[in-house]
A and B are shown apart, each in its own frame.
Chain A
Amino acid sequence: MKYQSQKVALYYIYGALALFVAQILFGIVAGTVYVFPNFLSEVLPFNVIRMIHTNALIVWLLMGYFGATYYLLPEECETELHSPKLAIIQFWLFMAAAAAAVVGYILGYHEGREFLEQPLYIKVGIVAVALMFLYNTTLTLLKGRKTAITNVLMLGLWLVALLFLFAFYNPDNLSVDKMYWWYVVHLWVEGVWELIMASILAFLMIKMTGVDREVIEKWLYVMVSLTLFSGILGTGHHYYWIGTPGYWQWVGSIFSTLEIVPFFAMVVFCFYMVWKGGRDHPNKAALLWALGCSVMAFFGGGVWGFMHTLSSVNYYSHGTQVTAAHGHLAFYGAYVMLNLAIFTYALPYLRGREPYNQQLNMWGFWILTSAMSFMTFTLTFAGVVQTHLQRVLGMNYMEVQDQIALFYWMRLGSGLVAGVGVILIIWSLLVAPRKAPVKRRMAQPAE
């Protein structure tokens, strides 16, 4: 390792991968309930299964960001982490909070507010974790070199924590409740998480393409500006039908349409950098994940988001399977793939071994990406049929559900294939045997 303290990232990556498995398992169980409605209904109601599926996703992605930050910050700042010990304590506290939340959900303790179901004490725990993290990383940044990547990354992470504070405000009025709820949900995934995404991609591009840092930083600034310009007022696309004033239909439609632009910029950025770069980096799998991340985020977040973002379209499609299609591909493309890119890149260094077994990892990439794409297509078709039958022809909800059952079967199938992809990826990252003893790194210079 260049900096010993980078090693703490390992805790987070292992933790994230464990929760990733849990997320996928509960996703498959939830998909099963769609086709066998009484499956597990006595033991584990659907709402709890879904809660664990979505919460595990969010927590493992956050854990991945923590890990990524602990990995790249010392390297960017050219200094050891302020306190590796604190980072380890923070990890166990976070894991404990996540485990307590899951056990609580199964026993029926939750606040029932979608995605923010965590009971109050867990939320307080999350804030404590965030404070430990920000203290540790900010002090590291302050004592070391400051780059555009570290600054954008830290800005994103600070805003993630600050916006989470809105989770504590839960007014009785349902319209106001939803309005603030989106401050967390939307401004995370369509705002500050994109800052984290852009900065981690920029880091990977510097490392893997060898393109001049100055060029990459300029792109980073452009991507970040475009994200904030479109994403903040883009929140308006959630304010169409919750009781907020009508002008949000205009504001939301126009600004959220532009949210596709930063995603497109990230695609152009990644491909242009790789095309321009002089390096033939041996970790082909990590590069594939980084490129794939930009493309799938563009389709999942950008294209599938735009599909139902105009208020005149959303009037019909709101809350149908079109939303589920968008949600699945956007989270997968933007944030799951981002984490898998940085894990694939960092793990060989963290574990002191070569980026072996890339083929297996890349097979995992294609299988998981194909499965998620297929799942998105089936849900999109389901959503279109549902919109027409339910919203245009006025059939009732449950009748329509029977009509789209075939799509739910196909979705379950794609979920199982996704599970296979995940196993391959995790196997290639963690378990697959070393082919040859690790050679000393210094022995041969890079090409």
Chain B
Amino acid sequence: MTQSVSSIPDDRQEPPEQDVPATDSDSWGGLETLPGHPLIWILILSELVVFGAFLLGFSGARVKDPTGFAISQMQLDRVVGGINTMVLLTSGLCAVFATRAIRLGTVGHCRGWLLLTALLGLVFLGVKIVEYKAKIDAGISMETNSFFTLYFLITGFHALHVVMGLGILGIVALRPLAVNIETGVAFWHMIDLIWVLVFPVVYLVR
């Protein structure tokens, strides 16, 4: 039954490079061509899947209870939501300028644009707090009904990402290499993108 093997393999040595040549496509595959660090794209894709699942869940729950959802949705402030959309998109534009600046090698400009991006992010969070406070004052909480469970979960998760995004922007501003800035900005654009999907589904679609 035994298999005769000439010797214990000497696999405790690292294999020589030419054994299995590492080409470009070996390293990060398709992610290599994207701006920023490839791992941020794993995160971005994962986030899109999660928010996509939440929005699908929202739509499914809405199909089961159209009137309940319609009544609850009337209690959302669409104007404030619209303003916040513009705030966040403008911050995204500033982030684009920050990337452009670092590619031109002007660190000072880049940091300035990042600061503006972050300030607009803070404005977004401020408006969000006002919005939440109005809901809580009206006696609405996460446990009110499935519309508001999902409303608070989805927008709350999103707001949490804005907070994380601010942290990431801060870190990359401290180490302003092009790859770092691109990484942070890619994450910030994801926050934009998700909001652009969340806003119509939760606030607008009647």
Which chain A residues have a beta carbon within 8 Å of chain B's beta carbons? 2, 75, 207-208, 210-215, 218, 221-222, 225-226, 229-230, 245-247, 250-251, 253-255, 257-258, 261, 276-279, 281-284, 348-349, 354-360, 432, 435-436, 439, 441, 443-447
Closest Cβ–Cβ distance, residue A429 to chain B (whole Å): 13
User: Which chain A residues lie closer than 8 Å to B20 at the CB level?
Assistant: 210-212, 276-278
Closest Cβ–Cβ distance, residue B201 to chain A (whole Å): 15
The 7 A-B pairs at the shortest CB distance, nearest first, are namely A210-B15, A435-B2, A282-B5, A444-B7, A446-B9, A446-B10, A212-B22
User: Which chain B residues lie closer than 8 Å to A439 at the CB level?
Assistant: 6-7
Closest Cβ–Cβ distance, residue B146 to chain A (whole Å): 8
User: Which chain A residues lie closer than 8 Å to B28 at the CB level?
Assistant: 218
Known contacts: A226-B46, A257-B53. The answer to whether A207 contacts B5 by CB under 8 A is no
Q: Tell whether, in the assembled complex, residue A212 and residue B17 are in contact, meaning their CB atoms are under 8 Å apart.
A: yes
In the complex, residue of chain B having the shortest beta-carbon distance to the beta carbon of A230: B46
Closest Cβ–Cβ distance, residue A264 to chain B (whole Å): 13
Q: How far, in whole Å, are A349 and B54 apart by their CA atoms in the complex?
A: 50
Q: Tell whether, in the assembled complex, residue A281 and residue B46 are in contact, meaning their CB atoms are under 8 Å apart.
A: no
Q: How far, in whole Å, are A253 and B58 apart by their CA atoms in the complex?
A: 13
Q: How far, in whole Å, are A255 and B9 apart by their CA atoms in the complex?
A: 42
Closest Cβ–Cβ distance, residue A312 to chain B (whole Å): 10
User: Which chain B residues lie closer than 8 Å to A247 at the CB level?
Assistant: 142, 149, 152-153
**Which of B3, B22, B57, B152 sits near A358, CB closer than 8 Å?**
B3
Which chain B residues have a beta carbon within 8 Å of chain A's beta carbons? 1-12, 14-15, 17, 19-20, 22, 26-28, 38-39, 42-43, 46, 49-50, 53-54, 57, 142-143, 149-150, 152-153
Q: Tell whether, in the assembled complex, residue B7 and residue A246 are in contact, meaning their CB atoms are under 8 Å apart.
A: no
Q: Tell whether, in the assembled complex, residue B11 and residue A210 are in contact, meaning their CB atoms are under 8 Å apart.
A: yes
Q: Tell whether, in the assembled complex, residue A281 and residue B4 are in contact, meaning their CB atoms are under 8 Å apart.
A: no
Q: How far, in whole Å, are A384 and B2 apart by their CA atoms in the complex?
A: 43
- New A-B contacts (14) at CB < 8 Å, excluding given A75-B12, A212-B15, A356-B5: A211-B15, A213-B14, A222-B42, A225-B46, A250-B153, A278-B20, A279-B15, A282-B3, A282-B9, A348-B8, A354-B5, A354-B8, A357-B1, A432-B2
User: Which chain B residues lie closer than 8 Å to A210 at the CB level?
Assistant: 11, 15, 19-20
User: Which chain B residues lie closer than 8 Å to A211 at the CB level?
Assistant: 15, 20
Known contacts: A225-B39, A357-B2. The answer to whether A254 contacts B7 by CB under 8 A is no
Q: Tell whether, in the assembled complex, residue A278 and residue B19 are in contact, meaning their CB atoms are under 8 Å apart.
A: yes
Q: How far, in whole Å, are A284 and B4 apart by their CA atoms in the complex?
A: 12
Q: How far, in whole Å, are A443 and B8 apart by their CA atoms in the complex?
A: 10
User: Which chain B residues lie closer than 8 Å to A250 at the CB level?
Assistant: 54, 57, 149-150, 153
User: Which chain A residues lie closer than 8 Å to B11 at the CB level?
Assistant: 207-208, 210, 279, 281, 446
Q: Tell whether, in the assembled complex, residue B50 and residue A245 are in contact, meaning their CB atoms are under 8 Å apart.
A: no
Q: How far, in whole Å, are A354 and B4 apart by their CA atoms in the complex?
A: 9
Q: How far, in whole Å, are A446 and B12 apart by their CA atoms in the complex?
A: 10
**Which of B3, B27, B38, B39 sits near A215, CB closer than 8 Å?**
B27
